[in-house]
């Protein structure tokens, strides 16, 4: 009889309200990984909007029930099966939406695992595969930026936005950052300056000052990064230099992205979009994706990109964490899964 | 003393309301062109929106007053100066906004003249340098279309739209054409089918039927051509195939151009813009521009592109013609300038 270990896991047996269908249960996990597999102890995993959508059954591809939640995270290899390219103690993450992560232990196929540098702090490692690669691809693959060149972005305090700011700082590009006005706007600005933003404006401030500001820096941004849409896309794309590029990665405003005739026709801008998951899975991007994962890790090890602010919670407190995620007003929630094993590191 | 010939010309001595400032006057034109110049007898010239804007003083670059109107047209070389690359009888057009055209005779520098095939009908020759090249560039320079491939466009009954339809027909591409609903919509559809449209829909019809229609043709358009903006841009760009391109050449709705997150991020479309005048004047496009002018002329000679419907008027009736152009409800107005010389040809 196969030996198993008991593992606490957040599991759902039907699609619906995550507060109702998600349950903390004990599952049995094989103690011995097979050939080309690893027994992984999961350490930390964020609650992403994708996770909520999947549990609600709103995601394009529905998994076969029952499902253990989670789509991004960091784990440690406990035991590597025969022929595995990993070894015990390796930190790993995944880049696939089909691997159960909200569980203390799981047996995972090598093909789904990505080796992470063990020196990367666990909260950053748990959120390394979506936001920083999105920033890296947008900064590296559309425009040939040189040190000192300017980029402009909206949604500058989002996960991607913060990665963009840190990466610009690390790569020598200058970032112009637009955020929505809010209470404590000065604290937010200070926070973004602290992580390396060169300029921070609210939408209203930039509307009033953009002409004067662009005159003062004497150049135009070559690249605009748009996670918002609506008039905000128009705002950042309208100040691009001739022939500049606007890359869209999200539509937080839930409005269509707007671009002026003047920007498109007379300023000859190019408008593109990217979804990092789809991009990375395209055969022709394989080498670039590996380079991206490598460079992102080097920046993480060097402390040049850091984890976004997150609230740490244990699996048992999932209802509170999901509630906060659904309300969308709190900072991102990070499950610390194997708290005994990793609390001191996170 | 230099010999001169008397020429009737539409001239303005101050910027303002074209109905007031534009005057038919007699000017003296040198009878002998200098070295590298031609004496040109102008035959026909349309009233373009650009002409109205220039007279009103609304155009970006203001000419030095007094100015003879016109920006596009066809003429015949009466006498070529020494060293000119033209000869008497050559049909010519210009591609520059600074050459006086609304005059019976003018002396023009060789550098501003473009040789036209004399077999091209004069009404088409008079309007050959903006709309057909815009269509050609959009169809040829952004996507590698093969025979049988589909394009979709809005503003399909505009000058550019009609060129697109005819050129698609000539090049073997299939065109899906969207127009705004109007009285006599069936007559308009019949007219567009007559010049080669494969499919014609009103915006409302396409909204209701696009899914079913696209299923019926079993492919998606590779290219969307947008002269309107607003939700119309969204409509035609949303049905593109993955990685397709939307090229904007105008913004008739005076609204910003809208694109969905889904089209940009998940369908990976590319959004571009083009202004044929600026495109043609870029050093790196010189060879392609010459090829474009050549191919457009061949299509015109072969009868594969035709003149848009226009009302022919003489210079003396300029007030009526300008009035109709300002109101924008009539068909385009075409000045037949040297009516004695050319009436039988137009």
- In chain A, residues with a C-beta closer than 8 Å to the C-beta of B258 are 256-258
Task: Decide if A59 is catalytic.
Answer: yes
Read off the tokens for B89: 């009888």
Q: What is the pLDDT of residue A60?
A: 75
- Alpha carbon of B255: minimum distance to chain A alpha carbons (Å): 8
In this complex, is the C-beta atom of A133 within 8 Å of any C-beta atom belonging to chain B?
Answer: no
Count Cβ–Cβ pairs < 8 Å, chain A vs chain B: 88
A273: nearest CB among B234, B248, B265? B265
Q: What is the pLDDT of residue B98?
A: 79
Q: What is the pLDDT of residue A343?
A: 41
Q: Contact at 8 Å (CB) between A165 and A274?
A: no
* ipTM here: 0.92
Tell the burial category of B219 from Cβ atoms under 10 Å away from its Cβ (0-12, 13-18, 19+). exposed
In this complex, is the C-beta atom of A256 within 8 Å of any C-beta atom belonging to chain B?
Answer: yes
Residues of chain B with pLDDT below 50 are: 342-344
Name every residue whose Cβ is closer than 8 Å to that of residue B273 and which is 6 or more positions away in sequence.
A261, A263, A264, A265, A266, A267, A268, A269, B247, B248, B249
Q: What is the pLDDT of residue A308?
A: 94
**Any alpha helices (H) in A28-111, and if so which ranges?**
49-56
Q: What is the pLDDT of residue A1?
A: 64
Q: Contact at 8 Å (CB) between A153 and A161?
A: yes
Read off the tokens for B162: 């009609």
Over residues B213-232, the pLDDT tens digits come to 999 999 999 999 999 999 99
In this complex, is the C-beta atom of B252 within 8 Å of any C-beta atom belonging to chain A?
Answer: no
pLDDT > 60? residue A344:
no
pLDDT > 70? residue A290:
yes
- What is the average pLDDT value for chain A, to the nearest integer? 94
Q: What is the pLDDT of residue A98?
A: 78
Q: What is the pLDDT of residue B63?
A: 83
Q: What is the pLDDT of residue B341?
A: 53
Task: Give the DSSP H or E segment for B321.
Answer: helix B318-327
- In chain A the domains, ranked by start, together with CATH numbers, are 4-127+307-345 (3.90.180.10), 132-278 (3.40.50.720)
Q: Is B272 part of any known ligand binding site? A: no
Rounded average pLDDT over A282-295: 95
By CA distance, what is B272's nearest residue in A?
A270
Over residues A15-67, the pLDDT tens digits come to 999 999 999 999 999 999 999 999 999 999 999 988 999 999 988 778 889 99
Q: What is the pLDDT of residue B237?
A: 98
- In chain A, residues with a C-beta closer than 8 Å to the C-beta of B260 are 251, 256-257
By CA distance, what is A234's nearest residue in B?
B256
Q: How confident is the model at residue A339 (pLDDT cuts 50, 70, 90)?
A: low
By CA distance, what is B268's nearest residue in A?
A273
Beta carbons of B274 and A265 less than 8 Å apart? yes
Beta carbons of A273 and B275 less than 8 Å apart? no
For residue B301, the SS3 value is helix
pLDDT > 70? residue A345:
no
CA A95 to CA B249: how far, in whole Å? 40
In this complex, is the C-beta atom of B100 within 8 Å of any C-beta atom belonging to chain A?
Answer: no
CA B234 to CA B181: how far, in whole Å? 17
In this complex, is the C-beta atom of B278 within 8 Å of any C-beta atom belonging to chain A?
Answer: yes
Q: What is the pLDDT of residue A49?
A: 87
Q: Is B182 part of any known ligand binding site? A: yes
What's the residue count for chain B?
A: 346
Q: What is the pLDDT of residue B343?
A: 41
């Amino acid at each position: 009889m196969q030996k198993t270990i008991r593992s606490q896991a957040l599991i759902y047996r039907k699609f619906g309200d995550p507060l109702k269908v998600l349950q903390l249960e004990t599952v049995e996990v094989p103690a011995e990984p097979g050939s080309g597999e690893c027994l992984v102890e999961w350490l930390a995993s964020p609650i992403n909007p994708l996770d909520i959508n999947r549990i609600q059954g709103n995601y394009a591809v529905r998994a076969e029930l029952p499902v253990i939640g989670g789509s991004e995270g960091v784990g440690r290899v406990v035991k590597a099966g025969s022929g595995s390219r990993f070894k015990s103690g390796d930190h790993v993450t995944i880049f696939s939406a089909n691997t159960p992560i909200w569980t203390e232990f799981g047996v995972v196929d090598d093909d789904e695992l990505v080796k992470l540098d063990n020196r990367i702090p666990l909260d950053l490692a748990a959120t390394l595969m979506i936001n920083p690669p999105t920033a890296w691809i947008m900064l590296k693959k559309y425009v040939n930026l040189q040190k000192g060149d300017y980029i402009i972005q909206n949604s500058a305090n989002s996960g991607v936005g913060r990665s963009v700011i840190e990466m610009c700082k690390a790569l020598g590009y200058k970032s112009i950052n637009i955020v929505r006005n809010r209470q404590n706007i000065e604290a937010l600005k200070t926070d973004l300056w602290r992580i390396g933003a060169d300029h921070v404006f609210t939408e209203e401030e930039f509307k009033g000052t953009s002409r004067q500001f662009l005159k003062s820096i004497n150049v135009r941004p070559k690249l605009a990064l748009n996670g918002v849409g609506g008039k905000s896309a128009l705002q950042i794309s309208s100040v691009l230099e001739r022939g500049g590029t606007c890359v869209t990665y999200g539509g937080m405003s839930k409005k269509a992205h707007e671009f002026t005739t003047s920007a498109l026709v007379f300023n000859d801008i190019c408008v593109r979009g990217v979804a990092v998951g789809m991009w990375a899975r395209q055969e022709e991007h394989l080498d670039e994706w590996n380079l991206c994962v490598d460079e992102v890790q080097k920046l993480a090890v060097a402390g040049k990109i850091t984890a976004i602010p997150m609230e740490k919670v244990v699996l048992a407190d999932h209802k509170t964490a999901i509630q906060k995620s659904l309300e969308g007003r709190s900072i991102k929630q990070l499950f610390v899964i194997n708290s005994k094993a990793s609390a001191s590191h996170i």
